[in-house]
């Protein structure tokens, strides 16, 4: 499988190397051997990419693979296959597993599963506190030695005193700190965005302030500590404004958003579809516009999916009782193409940057670019392909997507991970 | 008349937000004919003979359940009551499973009361049986609003152009929401009046005027709908005491004397006497509180009848 391949005649878009040209790529021994015009190979397989876009494999810095503990929802095997199906060749899995990824032994156990089962590159984020309980900090140095590349208590926010210390220690350990920004006193009991729609539906709301007050606090703490911080799943206008200003002020802050925050509003909750119950919640049209503007001007660096699988039996309940989260790996590209490229918010180059080289850069990965000698994590995209998202075509073990049934555009056609072909002509191998 | 041309085509009755003006008028018109039945010596018609109605109540409610039960019986339907204490819900059965199991008993209509907003919507999406919302969370209580409107129309002859003020805990009230949808669709001008923290975000987008001043709510109102104040909720934060609430928002004879002479005073019950209104007002000549209860049966008969024979529904 680690043979020679020639990807021929595609439009190669490689933002890290500022390339957007019709070029060929030779893959050999798992690496990118050559990028250039009129290339040929003596043996191996040629992939015709005419009319298609060839890009670095996407990097999703926010996924929940649920292993260990919730293998009924997702596993490393199914989640990484879903990643490949959506064009992601690297993912960062969150530590809110059962038990949480809070010590080197559990991280080692997960690494063994990844080595055995993962279809793509799976990187690990460790917990900031033991059991993600927000009380006792984990040992960052040991976690790093065990193989984690970032730290977060994602799913829960970090209390202020712990955050102060965590920023110092993560800086010393050379680990990225990713924060789920939420203010529990403001969000308690809420199930959707607080506003007209929650009023109409009679559901308890979570105000935007729950997010942006935490964003404000964390930016200040990062500034004081001269440490890096990455803000996860930005959903509201005020957060975008705070991050924009912080960047201008030289704070080392980066940020991600997810496709649902620029494609959907809280109006989508009106049918009580529990696949629209997400934390942070879907916001208003004004927030969607602000998120798009933040992507366009570089305030928001990356698009991550916050892929959060839940089984049908967990989701087929009253809105109040359903868990938060939706899957996203397999719809992210199409939704981004339709909402951002077709609506002229981002160029293809910029979109690919937000999905590959930017998150790779934030995480310090060598992927996310098509440089000669780099690992051959490459995807071929059919930019004009239209299709309906069907439940049976989803690789993820859980099917909790609000996009099922949507007519989508832009589809992954072929995927290489480390020079291995894992998807060819839209078929998972 | 619009009422006669309209044909009922909806499988379920989940809320007044989802109904057109014509559909609401059709229910009120149909209720008018059933009202006559409820005053006869023999208070029964065979309209739903052979049909089975299940009252599935996840929240204790004597008055709404009794009203639905009588409504179904007066239409000659068979009625089964399932309440949370006696069902298998506590053993962890989901709402959808419960609904499908009830449906497997070959019943026709499920009347559901639930503490979670949207539960009837979810149930309706998953069963072929007709679903009637008997109150869900803070969302809607459509039959309550329909009986309020029926009572109002009986008293004042019309709803179009009336000024109606809804007073009390708007934020946590399904009665308020259903009344707002129904009244505004029928052309009434609605004001909501509550302490600021009990007025929910964006309620003005439902087409109502907002005030925190009781005098403004009463001034030139044709009718008021006074909600039950539940102090065990956020209300406790809004007001230090029941007495304090009564002073600021309670409907007293003194306040009522400054209003239009024929102002209609409604309350969905049960009343906290001396909290949201004085006994004098509750039992006074402007009060239609017991009429509301009586009309509830006719309105629920109409709703059960219309959904049972909805046109074009499998």
Does residue A429 belong to the interface with chain B, where contact is any CB pair within 8 Å? no
- Report the DSSP beta bridge partners of residue B55: B81, B111
Q: What is the pTM of this model?
A: 0.95
| Residue pointed to by tokens 């893959």 | A27
The answer on pLDDT for A41 being more than 90 is yes
Other Cβ atoms within 10 Å of A73 Cβ, number:
24
Cβ distance of A319 and B117 shorter than 8 Å: yes
Contacts with B125 from chain A: Cβ below 8 Å? 271
Token digits for A199? 């009023």
If one compares A416 and B83, the residue with the highest pLDDT of the two is A416
The question of whether A306 is a catalytic residue gets the answer yes
pLDDT of res. A3: 85
Which architecture does CATH list for A56-363? Alpha-Beta Barrel (3.20)
Q: Residues 158-197, chain A: which have Cβ within 8 Å of B? A: 194-197
User: Cα-Cα-Cα-Cα dihedral of A370, A371, A376, A377, to 10°?
Assistant: -40
- Work out the percent of chain A whose per-residue pLDDT is above 90: 99
Question: pLDDT of B86-145, one tens digit each?
Answer: 455 556 788 999 999 999 999 999 999 999 999 999 999 999 999 999 999 999 999 999
Residue B232 pLDDT > 70: no
Is the pLDDT score of B207 beyond 80? Answer: yes
State the greatest distance between any 2 C-alpha atoms of chain A, in Å, as a whole number. Answer: 67
**Cβ contact B201–A194 (<8 Å):** yes
Mean pLDDT of B72-85: 92
* Contact: B205, A196; criterion CB under 8 Å: yes
Q: Is B4 exposed, middle or buried (0-12, 13-18, 19+ CB in 10 A)?
A: exposed
Cα radius of gyration rounded to whole Å, chain A: 21
Candidates A199, A206, A275, A276, partner chain B, best to mutate (most B CBs within 10 A)? A199
Nearest-Cα distance to chain A for B18, in Å, is 11
Predicted local distance difference test score (pLDDT) of residue B62 = 87
**Domain chopping of chain B, boundaries:** 2-140+296-308, 142-293
Distance CA A50, CA B177 (A): 57
Residue reference for tokens 């992601």: A88
Token pair listed for B175:
């009665």
Q: Which fold has domain A5-54+375-384+408-428?
A: Urease, subunit C; domain 1 (2.30.40)
Q: Which of residues 272-311 of A touch B (CB under 8 A)?
A: 272
Q: B8 with B305: CB under 8 angstroms?
A: no
* Separation of alpha carbons B304 and A115, rounded Å: 61
* Mean model confidence pLDDT for chain A: 97
Residue the block writes with tokens 């990356």: A302
Is there a contact between A313 and B94 if contact means CB atoms under 8 Å apart?
Answer: yes
A128-142, A200-214, B82-96, B211-225, range with the lowest pLDDT: B82-96
Closest residue to A318, CB basis, from B122, B200, B202? B122
Q: Quick check: A8 and A55 in contact, CB under 8 A?
A: no
Give the E-state strand segments of A155-295 in sequence order.
176-179, 192-193, 205-206, 229-231, 253-257
Token pair 């934020």 is found at B171
What's the CA gap between B263 and B12, in Å, rounded? 34
Q: Specify the fold of B142-293.
A: Rossmann fold (3.40.50)
3-state secondary structure of A79: helix
Contact A200 B206 (CB under 8 A): yes
What ipTM was assigned to the predicted interfaces of this complex?
A: 0.94
- Structurally, at CATH architecture level, domain B2-140+296-308 sits in 3-Layer(aba) Sandwich (3.40)
Q: For position B3, what pLDDT does the model report?
A: 47
Q: What is the pLDDT of residues A87-123, one digit of tens each?
A: 999 999 999 999 999 999 999 999 999 999 999 999 9
Query: Is B121's Cβ below 8 Å from some Cβ in A?
Result: yes
Residue B133 neighbours by CB under 8 Å, 6+ apart: B12, B13, B14, B15, B112, B120, B140, B141, B142, B143
The Cα–Cα gap between A320 and A327 comes to 19
Cβ contact B118–A318 (<8 Å): yes
State whether residue A317 sits within 8 Å of chain B by CB.
Answer: yes
What are the structure tokens assigned to A322, written together? 């359903």
Pick the catalytic residue: A60, A306, A377, A382?
Answer: A306
* Domain-wise residue ranges, chain A: 5-54+375-384+408-428, 56-363
- Residues in chain B closer than 8 A to A316 (CB atoms): 94, 96, 122, 126
Q: What one-character-per-residue DSSP string does B197-260 give?
A: GGS-TTGGGGS-EEES-HHHHHTT-SEEEEPPP-TTTTHHHH-S-HHHHHHHH-B-HHHHHTS-
| List of chain B residues whose C-beta atoms are within 8 Å of the C-beta of residue A277 | none
Among candidates A409, A408, A410, A414, which has minimal Cα distance to A426? A414
B116/A320 Cβ within 8 A: yes
């Amino acid at each position: 499988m680690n043979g020679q391949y020639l990807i021929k005649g595609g439009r190669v878009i490689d933002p890290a190397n500022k390339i957007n040209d019709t070029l060929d790529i030779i893959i050999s021994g798992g690496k990118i051997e050559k990028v250039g015009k009129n290339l040929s190979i003596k043996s191996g397989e040629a992939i015709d990419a005419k009319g298609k876009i060839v890009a670095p494999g996407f990097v999703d810095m926010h996924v929940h693979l649920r292993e260990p503990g919730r293998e009924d929802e997702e596993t490393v095997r199914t989640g990484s296959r879903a990643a490949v199906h959506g064009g992601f060749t690297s993912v960062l899995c969150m530590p809110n597993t059962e038990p949480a990824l809070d010590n080197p032994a559990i991280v080692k156990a997960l690494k063994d599963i990844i080595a055995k089962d993962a279809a793509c590159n799976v990187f690990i984020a460790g917990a900031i506190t033991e059991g993600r309980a927000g009380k006792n900090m984990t040992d960052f140095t040991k976690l790093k030695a065990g193989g984690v590349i970032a730290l977060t208590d994602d799913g829960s926010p970090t209390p202020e005193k712990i955050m102060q210390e965590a920023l110092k220690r993560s800086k010393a350990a050379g680990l990225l700190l990713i924060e789920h920004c939420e203010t529990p006193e403001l969000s308690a009991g809420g199930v959707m965005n607080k506003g007209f729609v929650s009023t109409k539906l009679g559901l308890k709301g979570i105000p935007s302030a729950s997010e942006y007050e935490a964003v404000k606090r964390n930016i200040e703490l990062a500034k004081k500590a001269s440490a890096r911080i990455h803000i996860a799943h930005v959903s509201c206008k005020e957060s975008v404004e705070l991050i924009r200003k912080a960047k201008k002020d030289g704070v080392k802050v980066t940020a991600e958003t997810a496709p649902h925050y620029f494609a959907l509003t809280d109006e989508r909750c009106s049918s009580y579809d529990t696949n629209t119950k997400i934390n942070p919640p879907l916001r208003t049209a004004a927030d969607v516009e602000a998120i798009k503007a933040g992507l366009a001007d570089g305030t928001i660096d990356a698009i991550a999916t916050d892929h959060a699988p839940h089984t049908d039996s967990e989701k087929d309940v009253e809105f109040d009782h359903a868990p938060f989260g939706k899957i996203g790996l397999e719809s992210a590209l199409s939704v981004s193409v339709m909402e951002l490229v077709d609506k002229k918010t981002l160029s293809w180059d910029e979109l690919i940057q937000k999905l590959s080289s930017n998150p790779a850069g934030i995480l310090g990965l060598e992927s996310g670019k098509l440089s000669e000698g780099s690992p051959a994590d490459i995807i071929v995209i059919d930019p004009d392909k239209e299709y309906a998202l069907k439940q049976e075509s989803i690789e993820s073990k859980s099917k909790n997507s609000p996009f099922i049934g949507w007519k989508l555009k832009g589809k992954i056609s072929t995927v290489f991970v480390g020079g291995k072909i894992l998807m060819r002509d839209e078929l998972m191998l | 008349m619009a009422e006669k041309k309209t044909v009922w085509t909806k499988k379920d009755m989940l809320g007044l937000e989802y109904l057109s003006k014509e559909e609401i008028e059709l229910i009120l018109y149909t209720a008018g004919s059933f009202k006559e039945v409820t005053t006869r010596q023999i208070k029964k018609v065979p309209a739903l003979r052979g049909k089975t109605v299940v009252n599935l109540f996840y929240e204790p409610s004597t008055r709404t359940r009794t009203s639905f039960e009588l409504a179904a019986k007066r239409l000659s339907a068979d009625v089964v009551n399932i309440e949370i204490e006696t069902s298998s819900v506590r053993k962890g059965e989901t709402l959808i499973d419960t609904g499908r199991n009830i449906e497997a008993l070959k019943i026709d209509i499920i009347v559901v009361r639930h503490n979670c907003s949207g539960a009837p919507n979810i149930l309706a999406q998953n069963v072929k049986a007709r679903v009637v919302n008997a109150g869900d969370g803070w969302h809607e209580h459509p039959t309550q609003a329909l009986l309020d409107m029926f009572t109002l129309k009986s008293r004042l002859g019309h709803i179009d152009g009336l000024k109606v003020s809804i007073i009390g805990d708007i934020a946590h009230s399904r009665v308020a929401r259903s009344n707002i949808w129904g009244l505004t669709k029928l052309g009434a001008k609605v004001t909501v009046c509550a302490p600021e923290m009990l007025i929910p975000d964006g309620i003005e987008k439902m087409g109502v005027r907002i005030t925190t001043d009781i005098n403004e709510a009463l001034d030139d109102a044709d009718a008021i709908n006074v909600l039950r104040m539940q102090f065990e909720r956020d209300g406790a934060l809004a007001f230090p005491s029941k007495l304090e609430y009564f002073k600021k928002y309670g409907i007293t004879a003194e306040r009522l004397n400054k209003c239009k002479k024929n102002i209609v005073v409604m309350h969905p019950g049960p009343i906290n006497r001396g909290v949201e209104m004085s006994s004098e007002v509750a039992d006074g000549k402007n009060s239609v509180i017991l009429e509301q209860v009586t009309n509830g049966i006719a309105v629920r008969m109409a709703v059960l009848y219309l959904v049972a024979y909805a046109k074009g529904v499998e």
